[in-house]
Structure 1
């Protein structure tokens, strides 16, 4: 089973190397890694190209003969356009996302995901993730435990953590990609479409698969007001009856994550 991992990047020279190397470190052999850079103006593209050269070198290809990396760099309108570009380029059976501030949890992450997808024959897998301090990455800020999937939970604001989701490419082709009219909440819209309005074979893998630095597109405090408006729009567009209440419920699902992190 080939896994296509997509990273969108714009001016992330401080973190992008860590993201790439966490993919390179995987012990699963059949990975297609796609980096979509939005014409960065810092050193991001130089770093990406440097890592690509390492991957194409004899040492890495000898030990990872099935690993491929594709890089595209051109202006885009934002993260979701970049992700859609990457998905359309992908040839793997399963699509995964890794943001340019984040890293895969450990070197066995993809192997364990594939084993569970093959065991359950699911179409959509999600797991657990850690939010860590942007500077002190060993300090856990939020402990996101996905828990069991139930449609009633989605109706009440629950969704899995987006970067823990592994989705079969034929499902994404059939159900549609990210709605680029959203700047922040296109992932919420996609997950509601997939998990509430369709009957996919969904499985939960109880293990951490990603470390996310706080301060990303949806965790930046300056963007929370815009995210509120976009979430309300998502819920309205999907016919939720009490959209403001659902948004509040979504926030309440997150409270235990911060509490659990205090004990880690």
Structure 2
């Protein structure tokens, strides 16, 4: 059986509470070969001490965490996408994913890799939810579709073979909040990437961050998304943005319905 090493790129800066939740979630995974690549931007809130604690735990635990290895660095960077690029360069895995949130089950990584292998895909993605504690805010349900109709996989669920980064390059740091969108446009625009899809919520994303920080943040994100489409010479970028906005609004509506059913 093919068991590729999975490198999870974890970027953090002065967010020790969420970081602790994320790394605890990783350590629940049953997949037999996970490398944690932690890139800290020079935190001063105790995050570094937490990283050291978990690094020692993993390295000295014997069989308890034998499925995991860890590499990490703490130094000033030029933002989250610079941190992601550093992490990818540090990674030794066959499959790479950017992870800063929580898994919804202990076999999430196993499901991604099983689907990736069985379909001989270049990458695989799934559904996710945005949540503020126990409150659902947004439900990202995106079966494979067309980028020309505003479709896009959820980046936090995207597990990509290393050679895709080698072929297409890393994240462009001139983008403040949409470099992940630009990267996905870049790898999907010509239709040659073999992409698998798991119709299941495998990731719970912390609500907030650069791409969901209120109306102002969403406006900046949308402007950068338009620039990404134009920069990659994708036809009818304005129409795509309109479709993307409609899909986003519908995700909030679905999450609201789910939350109401949950409360009742």
* TM-score, normalised relative to structure 1: 0.92
The alignment status of 1:146 with 2:142, answered yes or no, reads yes
Q: Secondary structure at the match of 1:263?
A: helix
| Structural RMSD (CA) | 1.4
Q: Secondary structure at the match of 2:199?
A: strand
Q: Which residue of structure 2 lines up, in the alignment, with residue 43 of structure 1?
A: 46
CA distance in 2, matches of 1:241, 1:157: 12
The alignment status of 1:245 with 2:239, answered yes or no, reads yes
The alpha-carbon deviation at position 198 of structure 1 amounts to 4.8
Q: Which residue of structure 1 lines up, in the alignment, with residue 73 of structure 2?
A: 72
Q: Which residue of structure 2 lines up, in the alignment, with residue 218 of structure 1?
A: 211
The alignment status of 1:204 with 2:197, answered yes or no, reads yes
- Equivalences for residues 58-97 of structure 1 within 5 A: 58=61, 61-97=62-98
CA distance in 1, matches of 2:65, 2:55: 13
CA distance in 1, matches of 2:235, 2:158: 27
| Contact 2:29-2:109 within 8 A present in 1 as well | yes
Structure 2 unaligned blocks of 5 or more: 259-264
| Contact 1:126-1:146 within 8 A present in 2 as well | no
The alpha-carbon deviation at position 230 of structure 1 amounts to 1.1
Deviations for 1:79-100, whole angstroms, at most 9, x for unmatched residues? 001000111111111001112x
Instruction: List, as ranges, runs of 4+ consecutive aligned residues in structure 1 with deviation greater than 3 Å.
Output: none
CA distance in 2, matches of 1:262, 1:228: 22
* TM-score, normalised relative to structure 2: 0.92
CA distance in 1, matches of 2:235, 2:169: 24
Q: Which residue of structure 1 lines up, in the alignment, with residue 262 of structure 2?
A: none
